[in-house]
Amino acid sequence: MFQTAELGQKLSKKEFKQRELPLWENLLGLQQTLRKEGKFPVLIDFAGVRGAGKGTSVNLLNKWMDARWIVTHAYTEPSDEEAERPTFWRFWRHVPPKGQIGIHMSGRYSRPLLDYVHGRISDVEFTHELDRINAFEKAQADDGAMVLKFWMHISRDVQKRRLESLENDPLRSWRMSPEDWKHWEMYDKFIEAAERIISYTNTGHAPWEIIEGADFNYRSLRVGEILQQRLERHLMTQQIRAKYLAELRKEVNVTPNEDANADDSSLSPLTIMDGLDLSLSLEKKQYKEKLAYYKARLAHLHQKAVRQKTSTTLVFEGPDAGGKGGSIRQITGALDARYYKVYPFAAPTDIENAHHYLWRFWNCVPRAGRMTIFDRSWYGRVLVERIEGFAGDDEWRRAFAEINEFEDQLIEHGVVLAKFWMHISKDEQLRRFKAREVTPHKRWKLCDEDWRNREKWDDYALAAHEMIQQTSVQNSPWILVENENKLFGRIKVIKTLCDALEKAVGD
């Protein structure tokens, strides 16, 4: 694979200077077009052989373009804050906003490569890591991002000469580490692993470019010209794509209810929520006894989770006035406020809109031993954004797989994940709305949007049914809570949470 990058290609200093200026101007112009017109981010990854020019190439890109709109991240060993979260937390946080360029050095490929070469992970685990990377890159590309990856290559002999030169230079020898010569001795194994990485992750939406790195002039222009070509093409294709998607979405703008009833408009399809027994209830005395018991149990289990550094993520979804807030209050009432945080999510801000929709939720993944509670969550993509037309048919349909991948990473990292659908009947919702209208301390919770959403009750019910169908998997099932009677619902929620924590911390 790398024979084509060991041909000894060179460029004279004169020719480099002649070609650098127009390239410089073109890249600056394209960057300004990206800022003003591009509704997508650019994500560039540099990987490859030590000494092949990764750092120099990154410095040149920052010189040729406006560095204020380029964010460069060079990754080393995870910090304590990073190690306490899933591996991709730091990569998601560093995805640039639309209109900007992000450069990653020794990024998402570095750790799997080193672990595999040093025998810390098996072939199966290595493939699993590459699958994670493919899923990450596909999610970015599907959202419109331009993903470009450079593998900088030099031969074993060239690398040896560069390491010797670096080692003997008193001004640069500090850049050497004890690992450099060990890795040189393992050169062939690194190349074997690199070939596997490139073969497995070289996709149409996130291609690899192998750059011969022996000659500064040649590799520098090659990197810049490839970036120029790809950026020109992506700006053009994104304009075409946006126009095509707008027309397509207009044609397929069918609500879930209309789609489901295409054959028989008089038929009201059943949903999984229709099978819930909403008559389940608790007397107030029973409720108080059970609540006191489960709160004490939850407090004990949560403290044990804190000591064991076991994180917890709770998701609450359901119709307006479904009882999410009340259940959350009962949970937090048993916890130490230093170790939990509640995130109430509404419409995304401008900054959040400039990123992939999952970006804002990745930013809220808790540290070890903490509990994060989401009042509304990433499921808004397949609920309100779907029904209200904020997400196109193509966007909310692929979100099911993206959400499952996100939750898999949380669970694989050891996070306790519990998802609650708080369900009530349409009549009970109306009763609660009217009660809020006349209750001073609850009136603020009712708004015009609640009444508008109520008119689409059946659409939301069908969307929730499909959401549960697509995302209630074995390792992260939905817990459907019969919350017509708030007392019953709250006890079911807190009991379920206690059971999940007990299983996790081994109490």
Q: Is the Cα torsion angle 358, 359, 364, 367 positive or negative in sign?
A: positive
pLDDT band, residue 498 (cuts 50/70/90): very high
Which has more confidence, 151 or 4?
A: 151
Q: How many Cα atoms are found within 13 Å in the side-chain-facing hemisphere of 58?
A: 23
Residue 252 pLDDT: 66
- C-alpha–C-alpha distance, residues 54 and 51, integer Å: 7
pTM of the model: 0.91
Question: What pLDDT shows up at residue 253?
Answer: 60
Q: What is the pLDDT of residues 286-320, one digit of tens each?
A: 999 999 999 999 999 999 999 999 999 999 999 99
Q: Give Cα separations from 271 to 257, 275, 424, 428 (angstroms).
A: 12, 8, 13, 18
Question: Three-class SS string for 221-283?
Answer: HHHHHHHHHHHHHHHHHHHHHHHHHHHHHHHCCCCHHHHHCCCCCCCCCCCHHHHCCCCCCCC
> Is there a contact between 413 and 400 (Cβ–Cβ < 8 Å)?
no
Length, in residues, of the chain:
507
Whole-number average pLDDT of the chain: 93
Name beta bridge partners: 316: 375, 420
- pLDDT-derived band of residue 451, with 50, 70 and 90 as boundaries? confident
pLDDT at 256: 47
Say yes or no to pLDDT of 255 above 70: no
SS (H, E, C) 471-503: HCECCECEEEEECCCHHHHHHHHHHHHHHHHHH
For the chain, what is the radius of gyration of the CA atoms? 27
99 vs 173: CA distance, rounded Å: 38
Nearest to 8 by CA among 215, 191, 149: 215
Q: Is the pLDDT of residue 261 over 50?
A: no
Q: Mapped to the 3 state alphabet, what secondary structure does 326-349 carry?
A: HHHHHHHCCCCHHHEEEEECCCCC
pLDDT at site 31: 97
pLDDT in tens, 59-87: 999 999 999 999 999 999 999 999 999 99
What structural domains and CATH numbers belong to the chain?
A: 3-246 (3.40.50.300), 272-505 (3.40.50.300)
Indicate whether 240 pLDDT > 60. Answer: yes
Q: Which residues contact 289 (CB under 8 A, 6 or more apart)?
A: none
Rounded Cα distance, 363 and 245, in Å: 29
Least confident of 87-101, 170-184, 439-453: 439-453
- Cα gap 433→446, rounded to integer Å: 7
> Percentage of the chain surpassing pLDDT 90?
83
Q: What mean pLDDT comes out for the span 253-281?
A: 70
Q: Which whole number is the average pLDDT over 234-260?
A: 70
